[in-house]
Amino acid sequence: MIISEKFKNKRPIISFEIYPPKREEALRDIDETLKILCELKPDYISVTFGAGGSSNNNKTIALAKKIKDDYGVEPLVHLTCLTYNKNEIDQFLRELQSQGLENILALRGDRNPNIAQKEDFFHASELTTYIKKNGNFCVAGACYPEGHPESPDMVSDITNIKKKVEAGDAFLISQLFFENEMFYNYVEKLRIAGVNVPVTAGIMPVINKAQIEKMVSVCGASLPEKFKRILTKFENNKEALYDAGMAYAVNQVVDLLASDVDGIHLYTMNNPRVARKICESIRNII
Ligand code: FAD
């Protein structure tokens, strides 16, 4: 089913992100993860894509197909474009079509000095335009409550988000953030700019200090003081950090739901217990 239709029938939409494990054995273990995630009945599960053209990208399609066929949950397939030419994207789109996969998150991908950039696509909006022209897909895009790290200012950031939506993105998924007020301000700016598609809030429950420091250094999200205090206080106590990290994420999610957010997208890091704990905490709220 086309995910944009789901937003017409239900708000908030609840979704999870997973990544294809690199090792073959881990890919077999993914069934245990999917079983728990799918029992939570998410509206869709998104599957990440390696920007480097690795063979792991076939695993993205295989995993998406498994989610759809074996678990009856709608997958959203991430697709990046910076390191691909039109022929390669065509091949990917044909494969998705033949597998009955209808939903794509169109992304540019991060720049990587070790991977050659190609000349067909420079921005995610160009990929969205291309997909809409060459297939019958529902396309979504990424957005950044603190602005994309390469954006010189919020005006150019939002101007470029508007281009994606004009190109055909039917909804947006936000980068992770730890301060809800920042997300609310950002969505307000999008609305003022005339971006009226649903905006789903990306939430990452933090249970591991090293993991979050790595994520934040890659994506540029800032850590509020109250969150840093939790990390500092409990970094050497795994159980305490788990409890505190989960409580923080639940608190964020409850506030977002109370504010009538369009959707919540949980970055699960392939840890289904984290997703289960959050869903259990809000089962009487959604
Ligand atoms: P774009 O929309 O192209 O934006 C990138 C920068 O270019 C921004 O600063 C933007 O303002 C600017 N820009 C856009 N259009 C124009 C224009 N016409 N003229 C001038 N400037 C412009 N990466 C992966 O490799 N694999 C994944 O699976 C993956 N999944 C993600 C999922 C989510 C929800 C998010 C938020 C990010 C994900 N990423 C993933 C990371 C993403 O690829 C990076 O953030 C990347 O740097 C930007 O991608 P984008 O699609 O937002 O790019």
Per-residue pLDDT reduced to its tens digit, 19-51: 998 877 676 789 999 999 999 999 999 999 986
Which of 71, 73, 77 lies closest to 32 in space, CA to CA?
71
Q: Output the residue whose Cα is nearest ligand 1's atom 47.
A: 110
Q: Ligand 1, residue 219: give the atom nearest the CA.
A: 45
Separation of CA 279 and ligand 1 centre (Å): 28
**Residues of the chain whose pLDDT is less than 70?**
25, 27, 51-56
Which of 22, 18, 21 lies closest to 36 in space, CA to CA?
18
Q: Ligand 1, residue 107: give the atom nearest the CA.
A: 51
**What local confidence, expressed as pLDDT, does residue 33 receive?**
95
The model's pTM: 0.97
**What local confidence, expressed as pLDDT, does residue 56 receive?**
64
| DSSP per-residue string spanning 127-192 | HHHHHHHHS--EEEEEE-TT--TT-SSHHHHHHHHHHHHHHT--EEEEEE-S-HHHHHHHHHHHHH
**Which residue out of 3, 56, 76, 107 has the highest number of ligand 1 atoms within 8 Å of its CB and is therefore the one to mutate?**
107
Paired tokens of 278: 């959050």
Separation of CA 144 and ligand 1 centre (Å): 9
CB 51 within 8 A of CB 32: no
Which of 102, 72, 97 lies closest to 2 in space, CA to CA?
102
Residues with CB under 6 A from ligand 1: 48-49, 51, 78, 80, 107-110, 123-125, 142, 148, 150-151, 156-157, 160, 163-164, 173, 175, 202
Burial class (CB in 10 A: 0-12, 13-18, 19+), 152: exposed
Separation of CA 130 and ligand 1 centre (Å): 16
**What local confidence, expressed as pLDDT, does residue 57 receive?**
78
Q: Output the residue whose Cα is nearest ligand 1's atom 11.
A: 157
Q: Is 17 tagged catalytic?
A: yes
Paired tokens of 19: 């990544």
Options 17, 74, 102, 146, the catalytic residue: 17
Q: Ligand 1, residue 141: give the atom nearest the CA.
A: 51
Q: How far is CA 228 from CA 222, 265, 285, in A?
A: 10, 22, 28
